[in-house]
């Protein structure tokens, strides 16, 4: 059966793409952020996963405010990205793995998750930038399964529901008849608000507590409603739901390989974690 080796979580600020395109990784503003990925890449070089299941949120590339599925899963042989106008490089297509996607989809339906199945799917910076940060050289070496969670248009799924989604995805992976090694990736956040009266809002104490909780107590965040999460993290900080789903997909205990927290990156608290399954 397939083996889940751990989870990676990271922010996906669009400006990261511009920094990569312009070669700004060693500039003082960016260096503390990009240096945080070096230990994670070493771990990936040793662990050598075959597949990445990516929990992320779409920013209008596939779904807009008039049609916003709560949960959707990609089932394509490849996933192409488009330039969103932020200086993000347009990357080669990311390889899919339809047989695993359909296995996950069928398992989620059995677990009574009503999902949207996407046999064609574009991917935006929330999907592409984390993969480029973890594997910066050449084409992405892993095959991918995109799992999109709505954190854009209310009503949003609760933290409890997203944790349960992750656990159901983890069950599907563990029952997949394959020798593949699978890593879970959750992207987005952490605390930030891009508009309104609280534009620029960052809550470092909450972010650090949330990151700590993912190691031994992922249920901690489920005590908060989405309105409470927005109050504590900003309107876009609710993207931490993707982190929660990725952690939920890793069964049992984990060991923290590395973490990094840096503010601000484009008015966002940029977090990073690598959690290894024990």
Could you report the per-residue pLDDT of 25-34, keeping only the tens digit for each? 999 999 999 9
Tokens of 106: 């069928």
Measured CA to CA, the distance from residue 148 to residue 214 in angstroms comes to: 20
Q: What is the span of the domain harbouring residue 224? A: 3-277
Cα 18 to chain centroid, rounded? 19
Judge if pTM exceeds 0.75.
yes
CATH code of the domain containing 267: 3.40.830.10
What is the rounded distance in angstroms from the CA atom of residue 103 to the CA atom of residue 98? Answer: 8
**In the chain, % of residues over pLDDT 70:** 99
Reduced to 3 states (helix: H, G, I; strand: E, B; else coil), residue 178 is coil
pLDDT at 98 over 90: yes
Q: Give mean pLDDT, residues 66-92.
A: 88
Question: In angstroms, rounded to a whole number, what is the distance separating the alpha carbons of residues 22 and 89?
Answer: 10
Mean pLDDT of the chain: 95
Which token pair is 8? Answer: 């990676």
Report the number of distinct structural domains present in the chain: 1
189-202 pLDDT per residue, tens: 999 998 888 988 99
3-state SS class at 205? helix
The catalytic residue positions are 125, 192
pLDDT tens sequence across 217-273 = 999 999 999 999 999 999 999 999 999 999 999 999 999 999 999 998 999 999 999
Q: How far is CA 221 from the centre of its chain?
A: 16
């Amino acid at each position: 059966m397939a083996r889940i080796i751990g989870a990676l979580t990271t922010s996906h600020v669009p400006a990261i793409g511009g920094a990569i395109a312009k070669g700004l990784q060693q500039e003082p503003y960016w260096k503390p952020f990009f240096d945080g990925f070096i230990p994670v890449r070493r771990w990936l070089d040793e662990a050598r996963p075959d597949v990445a299941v990516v929990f992320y949120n779409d920013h209008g590339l596939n779904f807009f405010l008039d049609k916003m599925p709560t949960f959707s899963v990609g089932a394509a042989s490849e996933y192409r990205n488009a330039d969103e106008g932020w200086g993000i490089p347009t990357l080669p297509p990311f390889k899919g793995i339809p047989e695993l996607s359909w296995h996950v989809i069928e398992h989620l339906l059995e677990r009574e998750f009503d999902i949207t199945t996407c046999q064609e799917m574009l991917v935006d910076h929330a999907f592409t930038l984390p993969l480029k940060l973890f594997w910066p050289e050449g084409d992405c070496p892993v095959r991918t399964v995109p799992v999109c969670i709505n954190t854009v248009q209310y009503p949003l799924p609760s933290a409890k529901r997203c944790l349960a989604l992750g656990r159901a995805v983890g069950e599907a992976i563990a029952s997949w008849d394959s020798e593949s090694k699978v890593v879970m990736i959750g992207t987005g956040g952490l605390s930030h608000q891009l508009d309104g009266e609280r534009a620029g809002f960052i809550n470092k104490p909450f972010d650090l507590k949330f990151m700590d909780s993912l190691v031994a107590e992922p249920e901690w965040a489920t005590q908060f409603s989405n309105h409470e999460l927005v109050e504590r993290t900003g309107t876009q900080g609710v993207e931490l739901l993707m982190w929660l789903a990725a952690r939920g997909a890793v069964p049992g205990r984990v060991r923290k390989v590395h973490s990094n927290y840096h503010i601000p990156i484009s008015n966002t608290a940029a977090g990073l974690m690598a959690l290894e399954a024990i």
